[in-house]
A = this chain, B = another copy of it.
Amino acid sequence: MAHLHETACPGCESPDLAFARHDHAHCASDALTRAEALAAARGVRLTPVRRRVLEILLEEHRALGAYDVLNRLAAEGFGNQPPVAYRALDFLEEQGFAHRVRRLNAFAACMHPGEAHSPAFLICRACDKLSEAPAAPIRAALEAAGAEIGFTVEGSSVEALGLCPDCRGAGK
């Protein structure tokens, strides 16, 4: 999480506060910068399509369906067949720059790429925004449950549906 700012940046200091008011432009460009650095370090290519898809996902703390992404791409002159979107999304997921949200059949940008983590999502059923929660304790509980019966956990999807602070305040 170590990076420096001139000004306070709640979105970066507490990257899990997707529901809080924060400097999102910064939050997004920061994630993008980090993805670029990681890609360079790993010797993989963040090509124009891939980069654009990541930017699109970073626009909001929401998950987008592959076809939503595809429509955006097509409108911008990229290919307009499903594999164009799926390939970019698969790449981003492999590199840990984005996550798949199975509950929504959708994809969301990762807000802190590079830090090893199995994600846990908190998804607001009212406004559709989602936040990546600190998943270490959850993952530990899951591995403990597995260990009891000799099951080795290799990967996990943890997704909670509920109400974010804003929507709860609004009584939805």
Contacts and interface: CB of A to CB of B under 8 A. Distances in A.
B152 A168 contact: yes
Nearest to A133: B145
Classify chain A: how many residues form its interface, as a range.
35 or more
Pick the most buried of A17, A151, A156, A168: most chain B CB atoms within 10 A of its CB: A151
Q: Give how many copies assemble into the complex.
A: 2
B158 A142 contact: yes
Interface in A86-141: 102-103, 120, 122, 124-125, 131, 133-135, 137-138, 140-141
Given A131-B149, A153-B162, A155-B161, 12 more contacts: A19-B149, A122-B145, A122-B146, A138-B138, A138-B158, A142-B160, A151-B160, A151-B165, A154-B163, A156-B159, A157-B158, A158-B159
